[in-house]
Structure 1
Amino acid sequence: MRRLLYACLGLIAAPAFAQNIQNNPGSNHGNKFEQLGTVLPTPNEYRTASGAPGPKYWQQRADYDIKCELDEEKLRLTGSETVTYFNNSPDQLTYLWLQLDENEHSSENNANYQDASTIGKETVDLAVSRMEESKNDNGVNIVKLTDALGKPLKYTVNKTMMRVDLPAPLKPGQKYVLKIDWNYKITDRMKEGGRGGYEFFAEDGNHLFTMAQWYPRLCVYSDFQGWQNHQFTGRGEFALTFGNFKVQMTVPADHVIGSTGECLNYQQVLTPAQLARWQKAQTAKDVVEIVNLAEAKAAEKNKSKAKKTWIYKADNVRDFAWTSSRKFVWDAIPATVEGKKIMCMSFYGKEAYGLYRPYSSKAVAHTIKSYSKFSIPYPYPVAQSVEAANGMEYPMICFNYGRTAPDGTYSEQTKYGMLGVIIHEVGHNFFPMIINSDERQWSWMDEGLNTFVEYLTEELWDNKFPSRRGPAAYITDYMKLPKDQLEPIMTNSENIIQFGPNAYSKPATGLNILRETVMGRELFDYAFKEYARRWAFKHPTPADLFRTLEDASGEDLDWFWRGWFYSTDATDIAIDTVRYLRPEFSEPSNNNASGTKKTKLAKPQVNAFEDLSKIRNREDKNIVFEVDRDTTLRDFYWRYARGLEPYDSTTYEVPATSNVTKADDEVKKNFENKHVYEIAFSNKGGLVMPIIVEFTFTDGSQEVDRIPAQIWRKNESKVTKVYVKNKEVKSIKLDPMKETADINEANNTWGTIAEPSKFQLFKYKQNTRGQSTGITPMQKAQEKSKEKKAF
């Protein structure tokens, strides 16, 4: 969701830190690259270690048949719904939980998640009125709740949740039907906030209704959480169960409705001219106005007292939303995704005509085609954008903003803001409307993943698109904030202070860093599409995403999840020192004139004490040691260990040996013109990242080296790297393309390379591993034996 928020008066909330277990917290290694096995949930038959659904994965289903009526004069919505709930779980259920989101506006049944507040020297009436305790209960009125036969059911409303107690346990494989009659007063969302409600246009006396989160909806019951019945506070959005919908909406006869799903009765609700335009739009090459501007303006002035009923059907969706107004212009253009036609449509008032008419439906088409490229093919028959001074998403329909000045002109900021919000909200059809994560628990799986693909889609709209969420350089101001103003991405949405950066920008940026810098586009895109394919129309968790991206790419990314998602560390890699060296060639220092060294013979290799096993083995009469069974195995060192061969404590002078020798002509030719640089890096921000080094040479040429993040695995604080170059380096710079979100560029450059110092370079003389060298006790013993025989 992207929407305009009214200014709060100094709201403050305490941070809640997600768990980031470290096995070696007192050390400079063994933490950042520790596997997440102790943090992630244990794989099971429902969710595998690969990140895929398991062989016994299950999820519930809820079908809805709803009839409702919009009373524009009284600003009230009345509804009656029949819900069929399918228990596909292995558990018996004794009750069902439903969401009553409109209780957000209730003075009695709101979630009661209050924030601290202050008031300054100057403020506005709206801000003060919001501080007043509400005296009106504008929540959901449950008029009647029964089973399929009309027998009343017991229920309990707890704030924004309603528990329905079942007369008998609902067993695995069974279904249950309940009927609910309800109503509520529709709120002015421009003043009171919230997803659904109305906007009133005083200049023409009309309303624009956005009917969202408007009916009692089944909560998700899942294998990893049970019932997701966390209260709705207005921020954390929702988790919902897939099902089929049939909805009948009775509204003023001159209203136009846009809705989730496909309309079943356009022939009854549209004029013959509008129906003909709708049919023309099915094969049009450009946008067609089904309800044109002149018709919308005429309806604004001549308000009908009659009613019409629009009927919509939607299959395999997790929610249902709609909009209704006589102000609407309605246009459409078809788009094709993998051979399937999708009607891309927009609804907007005259106030937005100058922007929405040329851009909106085409932006919808571009979005579903781009997201289909990066995730899965768009599966639904329609995709819609509604201008409602808002930013919120539902299956096949979303509410966006973007209005012109009265003369029809607009600013560049308004244009790109409108395009961005349309792409973002239409994109939510994929995340989380299809890849159905739990928004209330993990906002970033909804907003962050969607913002990431929004960024990719914006970049494909226009190479000069002013995208702000995705490039690494734009997250640094957030990541350099004091730690008490930050929380990990893996934090519940209600407890986040900087919600936009935390839930939208940082996860989107992290995924972009993975794509462009850590994994590369080919590996990342394949793995990300695999995640979307595996979890389309299912309920993924963060572990399923993390595991799938690793499983499908062959990359160990636990270090990245741990740092970017579970901590508040930032990237701040510094160049501490640069040593410039040139080789010189001389004799090795240990090749002295005499060529000898003094040494003593090795003592017997026996244990410092005899352990219990040795003692018991010796005392066990049933054990026969092999060297006792076969005495031919008893050599010099068998006797030496037992003192049967005496230890010789003499100091001997022996030839000095070395694995290096003076460089020959070939070594000199290969290395005499090389320039060697030893760079010392320090990790000042705590977050391990690849080190990207740009060299600028004295001849003006440049070269970039990319060091994987794993260089930090043995020392997470300081590392050095030696480079051998054919040319002299003039300057060195880290992260030249600002890929790693480094928060301090001041320590990223080294502009003055000191005069070179010398280092000795020798030729390596290969030794054979395991070959005995030097003087040994056996050798000396044999020499003495020969001397005795000589006498």
Structure 2
Amino acid sequence: MRISKPLCRAATKPLLKASAATGLATLLVAAAPPPAQTGPEQGPKPAHIFAPIDYPTAINRYRSADGTPGPDYWHNRADYRIDVALDAPAHRLTGQETITYRNNSPSTLNVLWLQLEQNIYRETSRGAAAMPARFKAHGHTEGMQIDRVALLDAHGKEIAVTPLISDTRMQIALPTPLAPASTVKFTVSWHYEVPGTWGGRTAVTPSRNGDIFEIAQFYPRMAVFDDLRGWDTAPYLGGEFYLDYGDIDYRVTVPSNFLVVGSGALLNEKDVLTAQERQHLAQARMSEKRVLIRNQADIETASHLSAKGTRSWHFFMPNTRDVAFVASAALLWDAAKLDLPPVAPAPRLKPTPRLAMSVYPVEGIGPQAWDRSTEYVKHSIEYFSSSWYPYPWATAINVGGHGAGMEYPGIVFDGMQDRDAKLFWITTHELGHGWFPMIVGSNERRHGFMDEGFNTFIDSLASRHFNKGEFAPKQDGEYAPDTGKPADDIVKILKDPVYDPLMTSSTIPGHGNRHAMTYFKAAYGLELLRSQILGPERFDRAFRHYIAVWAYKHPTPSDFFRLMESDAGEDLSWFWRGWYFENRSPDYALDAINYTDKDPKRGVSLTISNKGWLPLPVTLAVTREDGSVERLIIPTEVWSGGNTHVVTLKGGSPVRRASLDPDHAIPDIDRSNDALSPAPPPSSPASSH
């Protein structure tokens, strides 16, 4: 989702060589309760900092001690067959779906729960109550009107049922409970009014050549039943989502002059595209550069044509948690091939080359605007695939429309006015969500840092990689000050008591700027882990493993913490506690520099104090009068025994200056005491003549 402080500079600076090789065997002492509120003069408590940590999710047959899915791990499955029709003049969407829901859990289900996110636009919704200013300025709709719900028996006969609707949720009571390893099939019919631009993620946006319909959260979707809470039915308050996986086969009927681009593979090109469009699409499948499939002349012609009836566009997306689409007569369309192995878009169809695509109105045309969008799409998908996990779907689409900056599997909604670095950053960020949470299906509604933070971290690395760093470092100026060093940028956040810890549930309205935490702090935490604690080699291998074992499953924060520890070979409880469960920060001071017997040739000792509750590894740099520089890493475990540490160096030239964290690699919240220059050593008797 848009509105992020991307990992501005953290992943774009060269990594400190010494820290990349650092191994921290953290010394744990007896478990201790959280410390009482004490004044800063009393100092950090090692017994608390290094105590073992009890993770919220227990180890059991479903979730293993090493952070991987357990031998009996399960998740349920929901397959959809959807037909929707868009009445463009009336801004009305009508739909019918058949859901096949399989209960893979060990529980017998008496009810089913579905999500009706369009109900947030109702005047009486909880979301409207939580955000009164937004709805007061724009008005309301009647939300999603459920016309009929029917269960299907073994012979396909419909049995009508009366659902119970509660805000943005719908419950279906089952006349026969759904046993483990059983399947239920049912149909739902509905309609709703598509909001105007104020709808945000699902909106109608005017453009020079007609309205653009960005359609998301448009069908009743199964809630998740999991091993943590049973049915997870947190109401939709305008945040994010939590969904199960399945195949989605959907058709969209629109006026005949409309283009529809949606998640997944288009199955009926011959029915909806002209011969010229099919020819251009075939060229795009072989091209590294974008090929225009619909150009400005095409859409200006289409926008002035009276629609003669309708056309139905047929899409299929396998193993996905959701789909979305855009429909309009006003969209240019270009595409290029993705350099990835072909995938079959649907059963019984031959594999075809995959495509990076962009659709946008004439307002988006420009050499540093949407003319480059597909270049950015192509880079993002290929880079993330090679770095972390292969992209699984047939297409990746960037839409230039209202500008909600919102992600759905295979398609993202960005702004037609986005330009220059902003367009690259938002495109890369939203497409990065294809990995978190579209592939790794974490619970966004409860643990926002697991999608926004993880994604912000990987797309900051993509910014450095693209075109020799053309748009690096990633930034958007949202979190002042932008000093050019992330360790300094985040200090303001770490020092401000208004912010809630990262582990605070996303369903709880937070204090301060949510994005400062779930985007910036969460992403920067991974950068600290990668560059300062584990090193890139250990971190990257563990992070790839995390993605691979939790692909199309539902990990918790506890699973992530355990897997990273197990794979990396470190007890990181001190880091998880300080950065995720509490709002702690590092704070070091260089107190004194002394020579042995007052003679620098006999040795030098440097006294360092730890004043912070998050003792990250820190670099000590010592510059001698002869110009030589010594650098060493002070590891975290030295602080398990107390808050003072003495470093002793060999004798030699007098010290000109010593400093802690000279590269600003960690967020030391008080740098005023990080450097020291000693008094000159006394002159020897011989030198006085």
Into which bin does the TM-score normalised by the smaller protein fall?
A: 0.7 to 0.9
Distance 1:757 1:50 in 2: 60
- Number of the residue aligned with 2:631: 704
- Number of the residue aligned with 2:654: 728
Secondary structure of the 2:524 match is helix
After alignment, is 263-272 or 26-35 more displaced? 26-35
Once the two structures are superposed, what CA deviation does each residue of 1:368-399 show, in whole Å capped at 9, x if it has no partner? Answer: 12212332111112111111222011111111
Distance 1:207 1:474 in 2: 44
| Matched letter for residue 184 of structure 2 | Y
Once the two structures are superposed, what CA deviation does each residue of 1:731-784 show, in whole Å capped at 9, x if it has no partner? Answer: 1122122211223322222134453799xxxxxxxxxxxxxxxxxxxxxxxxxx
After alignment, is 265-274 or 695-704 more displaced? 695-704
Distance 1:756 1:711 in 2: 32
Distance 1:744 1:564, change over 3 A: same
Distance 2:261 2:4 in 1: 22
Do structure 1's residue 688 and structure 2's residue 615 form an aligned pair? yes
- Number of the residue aligned with 1:748: 674
Q: TM-score, normalised by structure 1?
A: 0.76
Once the two structures are superposed, what CA deviation does each residue of 1:425-479 show, in whole Å capped at 9, x if it has no partner? Answer: 1111111000110000100001000000011111101435131389632542442
- Number of the residue aligned with 2:362: 350
Distance 1:266 1:383, change over 3 A: same
Distance 2:296 2:204 in 1: 21
Distance 2:531 2:334 in 1: 38
| Matched letter for residue 418 of structure 1 | L
Distance 2:651 2:100 in 1: 71
Do structure 1's residue 168 and structure 2's residue 184 form an aligned pair? no
Distance 1:132 1:333, change over 3 A: closer
- Number of the residue aligned with 2:641: 714
| Matched letter for residue 52 of structure 2 | Q
Q: Is the 8 A contact 1:580 1:756 kept in 2?
A: no
Distance 1:262 1:539, change over 3 A: same
- Number of the residue aligned with 2:230: 226
Do structure 1's residue 314 and structure 2's residue 321 form an aligned pair? no
Q: Which runs of 5+ in 2 are unaligned?
A: 6-30, 37-43, 344-352, 477-483, 685-689
Q: CA deviation at 1:137?
A: 4.1
After alignment, is 523-532 or 473-482 more displaced? 473-482
- Number of the residue aligned with 1:151: 159
1:509-524 equivalences under 5 Å are 509-524=524-539
- Number of the residue aligned with 2:496: 482
Structure 1 residue corresponding to 2:192, chosen from 171, 184, 196 = 184
Distance 1:263 1:452, change over 3 A: same
- Number of the residue aligned with 1:435: 440
Once the two structures are superposed, what CA deviation does each residue of 1:464-499 show, in whole Å capped at 9, x if it has no partner? Answer: 51313896325424424431x111011122422311
Distance 1:338 1:306 in 2: 38
Q: Is the 8 A contact 1:196 1:212 kept in 2?
A: yes
Once the two structures are superposed, what CA deviation does each residue of 1:106-149 show, in whole Å capped at 9, x if it has no partner? Answer: 1123445526x8xxxxxxxxx6x744795x54311001111112
Q: CA deviation at 1:708?
A: 1.5
Q: Is the 8 A contact 2:4 2:520 kept in 1?
A: no
1:246-265 equivalences under 5 Å are 246-265=249-268
| Matched letter for residue 106 of structure 1 | R
Distance 1:88 1:718 in 2: 55
Q: TM-score, normalised by structure 2?
A: 0.86
Distance 1:60 1:424, change over 3 A: same
Percent identity between matched residues is 32
Q: CA deviation at 1:301?
A: 3.1
Do structure 1's residue 217 and structure 2's residue 225 form an aligned pair? no
After alignment, is 455-464 or 427-436 more displaced? 455-464
Distance 1:368 1:520, change over 3 A: same
Q: Is the 8 A contact 1:198 1:207 kept in 2?
A: yes
Cα RMSD after superposing both structures? 2.4
Once the two structures are superposed, what CA deviation does each residue of 1:194-227 show, in whole Å capped at 9, x if it has no partner? Answer: 31121123x54x2111111111000111112211
Structure 1 residue corresponding to 2:519, chosen from 504, 507, 531 = 504
Structure 2 residue corresponding to 1:30, chosen from 47, 63, 77 = 47
Distance 1:674 1:358, change over 3 A: farther
Distance 1:182 1:213 in 2: 13
Distance 1:434 1:471, change over 3 A: farther
- Number of the residue aligned with 1:333: 336
After alignment, is 550-559 or 445-454 more displaced? 550-559
Distance 1:283 1:345 in 2: 13
Distance 2:211 2:297 in 1: 18
Structure 2 residue corresponding to 1:737, chosen from 663, 684, 689 = 663
Distance 2:587 2:300 in 1: 57
Distance 1:339 1:713 in 2: 53
- Work out which of the two has the higher radius of gyration on C-alpha atoms and give 1 or 2: 1
Do structure 1's residue 96 and structure 2's residue 112 form an aligned pair? yes
1:284-683 equivalences under 5 Å are 284-337=287-340, 341-354=353-366, 355-388=368-401, 389-401=403-415, 403=417, 414-461=419-466, 462-463=468-469, 465-468=472-475, 472-473=486-487, 475-483=489-497, 485-493=498-506, 494-496=508-510, 497-582=512-597, 673-683=601-611
Distance 1:35 1:402, change over 3 A: farther
Distance 2:232 2:658 in 1: 52
Distance 1:4 1:210 in 2: 22
Q: Is the 8 A contact 2:491 2:668 kept in 1?
A: no
Distance 1:567 1:3 in 2: 24
Secondary structure of the 1:267 match is helix
Distance 1:39 1:545, change over 3 A: closer
Q: Is the 8 A contact 1:40 1:543 kept in 2?
A: yes
After alignment, is 258-267 or 145-154 more displaced? 145-154
| Matched letter for residue 48 of structure 2 | N
Distance 1:339 1:68 in 2: 29
Do structure 1's residue 50 and structure 2's residue 66 form an aligned pair? yes
Secondary structure of the 2:46 match is coil
Distance 2:496 2:34 in 1: 25
Distance 1:197 1:24, change over 3 A: closer
Q: Which runs of 5+ in 1 are unaligned?
A: 6-20, 118-126, 405-413, 585-671, 759-791
Higher relative contact order (CA 8 A, sep 6+): 2
Distance 1:223 1:471 in 2: 42
Distance 2:276 2:672 in 1: 66
| Matched letter for residue 513 of structure 1 | L
Q: Is the 8 A contact 1:730 1:753 kept in 2?
A: no
Once the two structures are superposed, what CA deviation does each residue of 1:645-703 show, in whole Å capped at 9, x if it has no partner? Answer: xxxxxxxxxxxxxxxxxxxxxxxxxxx934312222232x4222112112222123323
Secondary structure of the 1:495 match is coil
Q: Is the 8 A contact 2:601 2:651 kept in 1?
A: no
Distance 1:554 1:305, change over 3 A: same
- Number of the residue aligned with 1:207: 211
Distance 1:313 1:416, change over 3 A: same
Distance 1:133 1:260, change over 3 A: closer
Distance 1:680 1:474, change over 3 A: closer
Q: Is the 8 A contact 1:98 1:218 kept in 2?
A: yes
Q: Is the 8 A contact 1:475 1:509 kept in 2?
A: no
Distance 1:133 1:197, change over 3 A: closer
Distance 1:330 1:342 in 2: 16
Once the two structures are superposed, what CA deviation does each residue of 1:214-255 show, in whole Å capped at 9, x if it has no partner? Answer: 1100011111221110011002x0100100111010011111
Q: CA deviation at 1:551?
A: 1.1
- Number of the residue aligned with 1:138: 142
